[in-house]
Amino acid sequence: MKIFKAKVRTAEPVPAGFTVDDIKTESSICTGETTIGFYDKSERRLVCAELVSRDEDITAYYEKYGAKRP
């Protein structure tokens, strides 16, 4: 009998109106910080943006939404 179950991670749903192809990274000119998120073409900004510092963070963002990194 198992007391603890392994946590199964399921992919989060892609935000409405976006596809996995809309994922884009942007870097700041001043600080060099890199963010990743879904690019909204009409507002010209990232939605669901997260700060990334390593290449593994970018791969993890793609996996979070159930996609393969191109």
What tens digit of pLDDT does each residue of 28-67 get? 999 999 999 999 999 999 999 999 999 999 999 999 999 9
The total number of structural domains in the chain stands at 1
Does residue 47 sit within a domain?
A: yes
The strand pairing partners of 38, in sequence order, are 23, 47
Does residue 70 sit within a domain?
A: no
DSSP category for residue 20:
G
For residues 5-12, give the mean pLDDT: 73
pLDDT value at position 61?
94
Quote the tokens at residue 31.
């600080």
Full residue range of the structural domain in which residue 30 is found: 20-64
Does residue 26 sit within a domain?
A: yes
Does residue 46 sit within a domain?
A: yes
Does residue 48 sit within a domain?
A: yes
Q: How far apart are the C-alpha atoms of 8 and 38, rounded to whole Å? A: 25
Does residue 3 sit within a domain?
A: no
Does residue 12 sit within a domain?
A: no
Does residue 40 sit within a domain?
A: yes
